[in-house]
Structure 1
Amino acid sequence: MAEVVLPDGGRWEYAYDGLSRLVATTDPAGGLWRQEYDVNGVVSATTDPTGVRVTQRVSADGTRRSFSDGAAGGGVATDRLGRVVAVTGDDGSDRLVSYDGCGRPVAFTDAVGNVTRLRRDSAGRVVELVRPSGARTSYSYDGCGRLAQVTDPAGGVACFSYDADSRLVGETWPGGERAWYAYDECGRVTARHVPGYGTTRYTYDASGRVVGLQDPMCGRRRFRYDQVGNLVEAVSGTGGVTRYEYDQLGALVAVTDPAGGVTRYERDGHGEVTRLTDPLGRVTTACYDAAGRQTSQTGADGHTIGWEYDCSGRFVALSYDGVVHHRVERDFEARTMTVTETSGVRHVVCWDANNRLVSRSRGGQAVSWGYDADGRRAWMRSPGGARTGYEYDPAGRLVRVESSVFGAVAYEYDASGQMSAATAGSVRQEWEREGGFITSHLVRQGGVVSHTAVGRDDQGRVAWTSRDGSHTAYTYDEANQLVEARTEDGTARYVWDQAGRLAAETTAGGGDIAYSYDAAGQLTGTSTDGVLSARFSYDAAGQRIREEHADGTVRTYRWDTGGRLEQVTIDSALERSRTSLFTDAMGELAAVDGQGLFWDTATTIPALLSAGGQDVVSVPGFTATVGAGWQTPGWRQAPTTSTTGADVWTTTTAGSPLTTGPGAGAGLSFGAGGELLLPGGLEALGARVYDPASRGFLTPDPQGPTTGAAWAANPYSYAANNPVGFTDPTGLHPLSDAEFDQWKDQHKSTLAKAGDWIGDNWEYLAAGAMVVAGVALMFTGVGGAAGLALMSLSGALTSGGISMAQQKHDNGSVDLGTLGKEMAIGAIP
């Protein structure tokens, strides 16, 4: 094949040598990709259009392959039978695999020498997994060879059941909770139920595409496709229709939201988005190099972000409007990365040989972490020297946290590994669950007892809460948006438009508030009882810059060129304040009014560690500050929500003041759920700042929404328009309570995760076949970075593409019963 002509006229051209080997590929944008071969005909090097060259060398006997891009390299070693026996990383450390006489993997040695062993039966099935700590997980099978039971190191047993076609239909957890799956006659998953989350249902068309979906997060959704399988319509549970248009190549070129707003995309020969026009006509443009790496982005406000790469194609510098903001240096052998800001501030990040984050410093002040043989966090040290230690039971569940500043927290669990009690000093919390959902929460403190009961509807949503006799009932629409909160003192009602924007609100006191928006979903004004009460203004980037209230209060916001809040000014009859914020090159809020902030970034959701030199600790079930000691966030353990009452948008408590010395910002405090509270009632939630008073974020979501969700067309939406059941601690995507608990409690290791090690290392269990395939894939000659889609550019990428999430955390085992369903849903943009 010499040429491929695409429907839009684009051409792929291929050139070969005298032995018919592919040596050059020219893409539709004119980029030339080259391949070289050794004397044995094996690909020895590839060069992309920008000159980045990757080489591969194969030993004479074919058992060792090494590769390098000039800056870093690695290798794979196999035995004479082609089985992978060692993988060498960039730092030169090896990960080893051992086999039994039948060629089956039986031992894995990580880069620091910890060994995980597998014991097999005569049929070759894994019957026991022994972790480096000695903890043992056992597996048993039925007469058909299907996994029947998993017993965790603490003795908890999970059972699995199948239908006549060997499809997984049920799971029984150690505590008796049941998960189940249903299928149609074609073997497709039509329903699944997960304890603590709820039931998800699917319907399909004749081509096997998902056309209907109902889940606990978004309620009902419907999808329609064109004749070639492109999604052309997504309908939310409230009837809002989002339409999608495509070009001749099937690339998305326009999205029309339920309110009629149109967002358009233009692309280059690589298919990368080069121009985005929003519903207000504001234009954002992007440029890429010949290999598809994004080199710049110019927003509607005229500011340009630039990315610079080295000769190996790695990101090395970020600039704003042509001025370098910071540079990045990497030492692969030492496993360190140094980020130097033009101000002179240096950040040094270090990982161990197993790619776990072990230290990071800013300006000489460091946070460090240590791990046990099983890879679980063993300790953490704050910049001030405070040490926090972690202990686990045989099943890997966190049972004790001890802080050198605040003392110890002890945890207890039920049979299924769900937290049932937590004790810190004189404060004890107890939880009861039914079907995986919390039904009761008890807090005992200094002789005072507080009890919260929780009721659920048939879809698993919170139907009511009762705290110490104060009862609140909740009602939702078909898209799972909150529409009513009823208490004895009154009822709060919420009306959402087709685009998921709050159109009207009736407060518990009887006041009526109307909200108005522009075509981009920006809040432009509110009226209370028919009288204009506030006006809101935004800049060209969609960031709120000014509020004018009827009582004379004026609030202004100033943003840096990277889109991060850097100043809040409040001018009213009762208050005049100015708060300065600084976000560093790592994309983290590093200071408020000059008081330094440090974060625990070795977690999925970063938690505040220190403010102005004052230690803060956030652990499952508790947060602690010097001024207030241990605090409980409530029955949900989720921040920025009230556990009872009609006002569900504000934080549970006023928070604990962070007394950080002279110059500390007035009003800066730390919420019981771990959230950083800023002056004016604002809450710093990861990539964005949340304003409870206006029921949304101050800036648009930098990531794309869930397709078909009622709030998908509202880029300022908070917690899926349902803060009773959801939260958004990262500012990037709403999480259900079950998802939040799983994300935040990184130490949790329930039986549901008993098989995660095998799942994480399945390529080794397949005798390294996928490792070899992955190495080969590197040398196909066509590839390179796909570039950053403008509509999904995250805050972390805006700050330089530096992610602290490079250490591996357990995410649970693969859900075999829904694998096919997940593949189908993956086709929905």
Structure 2
Amino acid sequence: MVGGLLREAPAAASRGALKDGGRALRTVTDLGDLRTKARSFAKRTVTKDPIDVATGEVVLQQTDVELAGVLPLTLVRTHVSSYRSGGLFGPTWASTLDQRLELDGSGATLATADGAILTYPALAAGETVSPVEGARLPLSSRPEGGYTVTDPHAGHTMHFASSDGTLTRTLPLVAITDRNGNRIDLRYDDEATLTELSHSGGYRIAVDVADRRVRALRLLTGEGESTELVQYAYDEAGHLVAVTNGSGEPLRFSYDEAGRLTAWADRNGHWYRYGYDERGRAVRGEGSGGLLDTRLTYDPDGRFTTVTDSLGHVTTYHLNGAHQVVAEVDPLGHRTTAEWDRYDRLLARTDPRGHTTRYRYDAAGNVIEITRPDGRRITGRYHDLGLPLEVTGADAETIWRQEYDERGNLVAVTDPLGGTTHCSYDERGHLRAVTDAVGATTRIETNAAGLPVRIVDPAGGEVQYERDAFGRVTAMTDPVGGVSRYGWTIEGRPAWRTLPGGTAERWVYDGEGNPTAHTDGAGGVTRSEYTHFDLLAARTGPDGNRLEFGYDTEARLVSVTTSGGLVWRYEYDAAGRLVREIDFNGRRLGYEYDATGRLIARTDGAGRTTRLTRDPLGRITAQVTDGQVIAFSYDPAGRLVHARAPGSEVAFERDRLGRVLAETCDGATVHSVYDPLGRRVLRRTPTGAESHWAYDAASRPVALRTAGRTLGFDHDAAGREVERRIGPEVALTQQWSADHRLAAQSLWGTPVEGSGARRLQHRTYRYRGDGHPTGVTDLLSGTREFDLDPGGRVTAVRADGWTERYAYDAAGNLTDAVWPASPGDGAYDAVGERDHTATLLRRAGRTHYEYDPQGRVVRRRRRTLSGKVLTWTYEWGDGDRLVSVTTPAGQRWNYRYDPLGRRVAKECTGPAGVVERTDFRWDGPVLIEETRTVHRRTGTVTRTLTWNHRPGTFEPLTQAERVPARERSDGWVDERFHAIVTDLAGSPAELIDTAGDLVRMPATNLWGAGLGGDAVAGPCPLRFPGQYHDAETGLDYNHRRYYDAAVGRYHSTDPLGITPQPNPHAYVHNPTAAADPLGLAPYPLWENNRSLREQKSEVRAAALFGLTPVTLHEGAGVATLMNALHGESEIKWAVVPGEREAPELRVIPAGFGANGEPRTEMSHTVLAGVGGKVYAAGMGTALPGYPVMINRHSGHFLPGPETLVIGEEAFERAGIDFLSYSF
């Protein structure tokens, strides 16, 4: 019978897979070797250039084709040096196309795409059985004929049958389907030779086969038309020796007589070689340039393997009889142990500190309970399809629930507070609509593959997409009709982009897909060079400045060298952890770690050491510097709830979603109320000032009610603000260019007499092609034109009757600065030439600077025209926090900070005590209120300023000034209210009241210093985004650092080193085009396209906290993941195209606040890049030592049923265990 097991199948092989050269599966899988052969690629523990430490097999997996869709079309190849059952790509390569089922009297054997061979017991028609060993992929005999193998987690089914309907022993793969009926058919000719793959979404891949080998894969794009995707070449023995992609360059392979891979050479000519012992185990690996050289030795009894890296450091892997790693001892002797079941599911893991995490599974292999090292449990309950119905968090109260339709599509998600999001799908499982918890619906139209071609947001804004035969976006029409066009390489990398206004960008790549040149919208070219294994060797910007990068033989960055010869160095311990940095100025930083690899101490350039204490989950519980202790405590979900430092403490009250309801700092509380979508609708400051927000269906703010006034906001369909109503009599209007740049602003007031509005202010802006401003025309101050160098730096500002001039060196230092300052202006004595030692400013005009070993200014001396010397002295504390300043007048100012590093007070002391004090209140990283108290002979004067900012930004919108009123119950009376109008940089330009009375901020030069005698102090102390002006020092407090506008640089080194930019003391490269709200990392202010602008701002939000995505390569392991999370537990993940287009897993903390401060949410765009291709994305929870809880929730990536599976596979490849749930 065809539908049952062929107990008397013909002895001859089928005309399918076996005729293509593959060895019969059963002959290579005896009963004693079933487990070894059943190991999946993702379950192996491998070295850096993958060698399996248990078996010595060389393993390599590559993706040749990946076409997106609800059911993605993915073609992979996997080499295993012991594998001899391949066919279409040679005997040692398994592949998607070689998957087949072999039947005999004792059962069935499956060849998978990742090189595993699964053996099944005998089954009759209509029965289902699981393999004896290996992945739980049930085999079913179909009553109607043929067999299926189902992946329950993916929801995909492979169909096996004779290609011509005859009774055969070997059944090739004929189709792949999902639960929604999407389908990939494999078509064969009359000779049972594979000729084509046909996708129900319209994709067609031609398979060119000759001499039983695949010679090429082509995408069929029309009648008789095709695009060649990959070419393959073979040697006389039939081994795959070359793979040529769209670059036209081959990736080459070499083999020994036994068919084992002995070398590969990439498309840039770099290579890696393998050597084997007499038992066929790889015992050495050698990379070009000595990179990643490795030696392996095996215990004769198979109990352990030692791996020696290129620097002589040894890692030992202890094994059990099932080839599972039960203990790993790193080069420093730290031991991590693990327990497994027979199916490679992790049961327990104990870290080197003795902390154990345990796991329980149901019969289907779903994780149903995780017991953390602190004893708390995370539990899950599942649907019959293996989809999670309910997940309960470690607090036993945070519960996520979800519902599915009969096909396993997620139709409802209910959050722990009861808010429910509903999803609907068409008959093919294509997402059609998402309705949020308040009833707003986003509608999606898709193509046949399930990719969006039209998205309409809840407010009616519509974005349309055109796609090519690959499914890639070739044109996007934004909600206001602007069209952006895109070109791609065959591998899916961006080749060019044209924006609605005609600005174009282009990219060029080498054979390995590394970008070697990028031409921006202004014609500036950034060039990149690469060394072994795609490591960036040098980058030259449009201005000619060059950075060179050096690496050790373990591919770790060891040096960065500038055009001027400055060198930043990095040193590592035997376990590969950074232990020392030596910066451009010779400053030495040291780091220490515990046995698990977590940072426990850091020593700054002045020799001051800060030590960190961590709990069993790796969270920082104490920070000790010079005997001063800062203590942190967390809720069960790992969120900060309390921090205490000497003289200051912060406490957070959160809801079950982690949103901050109350933040109390030193007894003063900021209260917040949110709607069901998490949008804040009310904020109450410590002095009782309330702000009420309202939003439209697209979550754009439409009204702010505060201090008895109301601001209204109107947006166009693209989400750009076009009008702001400031009370009934004043309005701000804005116009935008086709490329979504701000083109004009006008302030209007009610006319004094007559009809028509009265124009109070008007500005227009002009830009270079890359978005850098080239000019501003201002109704009140005239015109400024900006001369720019190729890198976008301003070399001159030309205005009516005056000019500013600036020059720079190769390190990015300002070497000369001239502007029309007045002798009475404090910045006047900084005008002129400047001297530097590396990146330390020594002299600016007549002002001299001295530094401590940590690179902080400790003394500033200014010689006036009269010959008098004015001196400021600075004292610094932990974390480069300025703790006191003594001014030339002898005043001493002291600065206090909360445990999270935010400045909460400054005070001036005199002989009689405190003369003046200002207290600051924060909303996360945003300053929202100050209360200034001045003690005079005539009495005490107190004044409070309260600010509101546009939600999620540092853009100030209002300032309210109040004074105490004892006769009022709330204790305060409103004295003045102003709306704030910002300039292009986001700095306050004008303050205007609801009657139309305009107050201008003082005129400044490019860098914010007083211009032409204008006082730097003004009606508002806010300066560049995130900055607050201190009149006593002339400096601007910038959250993590202090900025000196007179010289356009910071008084201390960037805590993030040179990750944000090459000069760690410099401000942004161009203050009209970039800002640095936290004093950590610059980001551009304006972008060419709204969606790209939003994405880029999200990427930069991560950069503000020094966060960059971490790629989890094959076998990266959980330690790599945990080190990437900076002590956070919640993550965002994405699977994106990596090297050779293979799916690459990237992770980043879901939110971050330095030293545990209230978190700023990160974006999935940070992982995928701006406009980047995404295979899958989601969120998760990761705590040391236990599986990551992952889901497929992303606001940027429309989730299909298959996306979670892609993520699961990626985590498996990385060697990280997980619990998956679909919300």
* TM-score, length-scaled by structure 1: 0.76
- Alignment match, 1:373: 616
Q: 2:373 aligns with which of 132, 136, 140?
A: 132
Letter in 2 for 1:518: R
What's the CA shift for 1:503?
0.9
Please tell me whether residue 514 in structure 1 is matched to residue 768 in structure 2.
no
Task: Name 1:786's counterpart in structure 2.
Answer: none
1:647 correspondence with 2:889: no
Q: Which residue in the other structure is 2:1156 paired with? A: none
Question: Hey, what's the Cα distance between the residues in 1 that align with 2:559 and 2:652?
Answer: 45
Residue matched to 2:310: 70
What is the Cα deviation at residue 379 of structure 1?
2.0
Match in the other structure for 1:265 = 507
| Kept after mapping to 1: 8 A contact 2:905/2:919 | yes
Q: How does 1:399-798 map to 2 (within 5 A)?
A: 399-405=641-647, 407-443=648-684, 445=686, 448-488=687-727, 489-507=729-747, 510-529=760-779, 532-550=782-800, 552=802, 561-563=810-812, 571-573=820-822, 575=825, 577=827, 578=830, 591=856, 609-610=881-882, 617=897, 624-627=904-907, 628-633=918-923, 634=928, 640-642=954-956, 644=958, 645=979, 647=981, 649-650=986-987, 654=1022, 666-670=1034-1038, 679=1045, 687=1060, 694=1072, 696-697=1074-1075, 709-710=1089-1090, 712=1092, 729=1104
Contact 2:1083 2:1097 in 1 (8 A): no
Gaps of 5+ in 2: 1-233, 235-240, 750-759, 841-853, 860-873, 886-893, 908-917, 929-947, 959-978, 989-1019, 1062-1066, 1109-1124, 1135-1143, 1146-1167, 1171-1183, 1208-1223
**CA displacement 1:475-530 (0-9 Å, x = unmatched):** 22233222222111522222221222211111356312111112222211111249
Residues 6, 597 of structure 1: alpha-carbon distance in 2 compared, 3 angstrom cutoff: farther
* In structure 2, C-alpha distance between the alignment counterparts of 1:186 and 1:705, rounded to whole Å: 42
Aligned length: 743
Contact 1:307 1:319 in 2 (8 A): yes
Counterpart of 1:317 in structure 2: which amino acid? S
- 1-side partners of 2:769 and 2:356: how far apart? 58
Judge conservation of contact 1:669–1:678 (CA < 8 Å) in 2.
no
* Cα distance per residue 1:672-708 (max 9 Å; x no partner): xx78665389999984757999575499x99999999
Q: Deviations over 1:278-299 (max 9, x none)?
A: 3433333332224332222222
For residues 73 and 296 of structure 1, what CA distance do their matches in structure 2 show? 31
Q: CA deviation at 1:316?
A: 1.6
Task: Please say if residues 741 and 1088 of structure 2, whose CA atoms lie closer than 8 Å, have aligned partners that are also in contact.
Answer: no
- In 2, are the aligned partners of 1:615 and 1:625 still within 8 Å (CA)? yes
1:291 aligns with 2:538: no
Query: Judging changes above 3 Å, is the alpha-carbon distance between structure 1 residues 15 and 459 closer, same or farther for their aligned structure 2 residues?
Result: same
Conserved? CA contact 1:409–1:425, under 8 Å: yes
1:568/1:712 CA distance change after superposition, 3 Å: farther
Cα distance, 1:330 vs. partner? 1.1
1:610 offset after TM fit, Å? 4.9
Letter in structure 2 aligned against 1:135: R
2:1087·2:1093 contact (CA, 8 Å) conserved in 1? no
Q: 1:559 to 1:823 in 2, by over 3 A?
A: farther
Given candidates 577, 580, 592, the residue that maps to 1:338 is 580
Q: What residue in structure 2 maps to residue 739 of structure 1? A: none
2: CA distance between counterparts of 1:312 and 1:583?
30
Residue of structure 2 equivalent to 1:800: none
In structure 2, relative to structure 1, the CA distance for the partners of 1:393 and 1:316 (3 Å cut) is closer
| 8 Å contact from structure 1 (residues 258, 713) kept in 2 | no
Q: Say if 2:550 is the partner of 1:308.
A: yes
Using a 3 Å threshold, how does the CA distance of structure 1 residues 658 and 10 change in structure 2: closer, same or farther? Answer: same
C-alpha spacing 1:568/1:197, structure 2 compared with 1 (3 Å): farther
Moved more, 230-239 or 618-627: 618-627
CA distance in 2, matches of 1:730, 1:102: 40
Q: Of 59, 76, 82, which residue of structure 1 is paired with 2:323?
A: 82
Between 367-376 and 231-240, the greater mean CA deviation after superposition: 231-240
Q: Distance in 2 between matches of 1:13 and 1:379?
A: 53
SS of residue paired to 1:647: strand
Is residue 2:562 matched to residue 1:320? Answer: yes
Q: 1:620 and 1:438 mapped to 2: Cα distance?
A: 24
Decide whether the 8 Å contact of 2:336 with 2:349 is kept in 1: yes
Q: Alignment partner of 2:1200: what SS?
A: helix
Cα 1:490–1:302 shift into 2, 3 Å = same
Q: Please give the alpha-carbon distance, in whole angstroms, between the structure 2 residues aligned to 1:518 and 1:626.
A: 42
The yes-or-no answer on 1:10 pairing with 2:260 is no
- Bigger Cα Rg: 2
Q: Tell me whether 648-657 or 9-18 shows the greater mean CA deviation.
A: 648-657
Residue identity in the other structure for 1:108: R
Provide the secondary structure at the position in 2 that maps to 1:50: helix
Structure 1 position 378, deviation (Å):
0.8
- In structure 2, give the amino acid aligned to 1:498: A
Q: Read off the aligned partner of 2:1034 and give its amino acid letter.
A: A
- List runs of 5+ in structure 1 lacking aligned partners: 601-607, 734-744, 761-769, 772-790, 794-806
Distance 1:136 1:730 in 2: 31
Give me the whole-angstrom Cα distance separating, in 2, the residues matched to 1:387 and 1:558. 45
CA shift digits 1:77-110 (9 cap, x unpaired): 4421233423444544232222469875332212
Aligned pair partner of 2:300 in 54, 60, 67:
60
8 A Cα contact 1:325 1:341, kept in partner: yes
For residues 676 and 219 of structure 1, the distance between their equivalents in structure 2, rounded to whole angstroms, comes to 42
2:488 matches 1:239: no
Q: Give the Cα–Cα distance (whole angstroms) in 1 for the partners of residues 380 and 490 of structure 2.
A: 51
Is the 2:591–2:602 contact (alpha carbons within 8 Å) kept by the matching residues of 1? Answer: yes
Q: CA deviation at 1:202?
A: 4.2
Aligned CA RMSD, in angstroms, stands at 4.9
- Matched residue, 2:283: 44
Structure 1 residue 658: deviation in Å? 8.6
2:466 match: secondary structure: strand
| Aligned-partner residue type, residue 496 of structure 1 | W
- CA contact under 8 A between 2:811 and 2:839: conserved in structure 1? no
User: Counterparts of 1:162 and 1:28 in 2: how far apart (Å)?
Assistant: 46
Superimposed CA distance per residue, residues 257-308 of structure 1 (whole angstroms, 9 cap, x where no aligned partner) = 3332333333333333333333433333332224332222222322221112
CA spacing shift, 1:508–1:546, aligned 2, 3 Å: farther
Q: Which residue of 2 aligns with 1:766?
A: none
The alpha-carbon deviation at position 719 of structure 1 amounts to 7.8
Partner in structure 1 of residue 967 of structure 2:
none
Equivalent residue for 1:31, pick from 263, 270, 283 = 270
Identical amino acids, percent of aligned pairs: 22
Worse overlay, 66-75 or 521-530: 66-75
When residues 621 and 262 of structure 1 are mapped into structure 2, their CA distance, relative to the original with a 3 A threshold, is same
| Cα offset, 1:376, TM superposition | 1.8
Whole-angstrom distance in 2 between the partners of 1:39 and 1:338: 42
The residue identity in structure 1 corresponding to 2:1192 is D
Tell whether the 8 Å contact from 1:702 to 1:792 is kept in structure 2 after alignment.
no
Q: Distance in 1 between matches of 2:769 and 2:1037?
A: 35
**CA positional deviation for 1:455:** 0.8
Confirm or deny: 8 A CA contact 2:459 2:696 kept in the other structure: no
